[in-house]
Each structure stands twice: as C-alpha cells, then as structure tokens.
Amino acid sequence: WARPAVATNPRLTEIVSSGLVGLPGGAWGDVTHLIARLRAGDYDTAFIPSRSSLLAYVAWRAGIDQRVGLNVGWRGFAHSVRVAPPPGRHEAELYLELARRLNIDGRARMEFYPRDVDRAAVSARIVAEADWLGDRPLAILHPGGGRNPVRLRLDKRWPAERFALLGNYLVRHHRAVVLLVGDASDREETQAVVGMMTENAIDLTGTFNLGEMAALCEIADFFAGNDAGPTHVAAAVGCPTLAIFGPTDAAVSSPYVDADRLFVLAAPAADGAFTWSRGPSYEEAVVAADILLAARDRP
C-alpha cells in the first residue's frame, strides 16, 4: 500500500515486498516467507521504524546481526539496538533517531521523485483539460483521505463546504485554476465540493496515480488537503502546501519539510469528542492561501 511513495526514489537499490505481514488478512505463511526472503539476502543491518513486535521477530529470525528499531513496551525485544521513543516527538524524528544511534547523520527531509513519464503525461493533460498555460496560479484541493488498509478515519476530512469556500476564494481573488484530486474512494467528497462551489473547478478525482499527482504538484502554485498521503507528497515535491489537521496531532505527523512552503492549520485541543466546529476556519485557510501563493514567487 505504501510502496508507491518510495518506489521511484533513486536512493533505493531494491524493494523487498513484505506481502500482508502485519496487515489485515495476513497469515503465518506470509511471515515465514518474508523471513526466508530476508535470510537469503544475507543482510548486515536492518532498521525497523515500527513499534511492531512481529517485525522485530522477523528481522531476528532472518539472522540479521544488527537490528536497530523502536522499542515500546518491550515490543522491540529482538532488536540489538533498542530506541525508546519519547512521547510527543514527530514520527520522522523518531525514525531518524535510529540512524543517529549508528552515528549516521540524521538530517533529512521528505522527498518524492515523479518519473519523467508522469511529468509528461500531466503536462499534456493540464494543457488539454484545464487550458492552463502557466499564466494563472494553479491550485489543487484534496478534500478526501482518511482511508488506509488498517483504519478508517473520515473525521480527518475538513468540511466540504469550507473547501468549496476556499476554492471560490482562490478563483475570485487569485484568478486561480482550481483542480480537485483524490483516488476513487474520494469521489463523493470531491463531487460535494464542486457542487457547492459557485466558481468553476475541474474534478480530476480518480484519474491520477500517485506519481502523476506528484508531478502535478511540482508545477502547481498551491495545494490544500487534509492529513493524508497526497498532502505529504505535495509538500515533499516543494509545492506551497496548506495541511489541515483535525483529530490527529500535527506536531507528530505534519509534513516533514522546511517551513518556508508549508502552512499547518490544526484544530485546537479540547476534551471530549472531536468536532470541526472549533476550527480551523475558512478565514484561517484564506490567510494561509494568501501567504503561500505569495511564496510561489520566491526561489
């Protein structure tokens, strides 16, 4: 499921599929197969950026001598180097701490590398379908997200009516071409946003793979989305990005990039059940959009 996020990264030599290990539907046969595959690779070191006792077990049984991983509640019992993560730190910082324990420079930021074929396909489509020639700001809205193979969190979605108001503002005040993106499961949400907008917007939901969406974000001037994969990809390729957080903690999982092209809006903490009524508001998003669209002219 996460493979497309790293598959095109030129720093990687090989990706070894873990199958359904640790995912719903996985069986013990998947675990033994992965152990055998890793043992055959005769690896010296494994980094396990996970709190999973199962992955700790897999690396140990695969005969990898140096196993560096997170240890929470002794679930990292099989690691040779155990890192106890302190609460409240960004997830990326926890993972980078594994490298630091082996005296490896832990300075890094998120990155994503679209393929040239993705860039070519996107350029042709934007000219043909949006009649965009670079003369107006290109703004992307991703109102969906909240789905993965492990859990469903639709409450992570900023209200559709606020996305619609933001889209109208981008057209009226910035002359932007507004595109809505997402995978097929987001179609109901994006159609709701388009239906509530009084200005024109182009719904491209379900028509881009992750690499093509990243290529689109490379040329875009603005991206606004929820705490979901596309928001992180947009930030990773350098698109001025508004990341909107509700029930999840932005301090732990916001896009891990330099702050000059990232604006995070987070709902204020409160006791009881989460509700978007406390914010972030449409007015806050407008301020963020103005700041980020001004940033597009900076090198």
Low-confidence spans in the chain with pLDDT less than 70: 295-299
E-strand stretches of 182-236: 202-203, 222-226
d(CA 279, CA 260): 23
What is the per-residue pLDDT across 126-139, written as a single tens digit (0 to 9) for each? 999 998 988 999 99
Question: Are 70 and 86 spatial neighbours (Cβ–Cβ below 8 Å)?
Answer: no
Please give the pLDDT value at position 271. Answer: 78
- pLDDT of 297 reads 59
pLDDT attached to residue 298: 59
Q: What is the pLDDT of residues 62-78, one digit of tens each?
A: 999 999 999 988 899 99
Instruction: Give the model's pLDDT for residue 272.
Output: 77
pLDDT of residue 1: 74
Q: Model pTM?
A: 0.91
Cα separation of the two ends of the chain: 34
Task: Return the pLDDT at 85.
Answer: 85
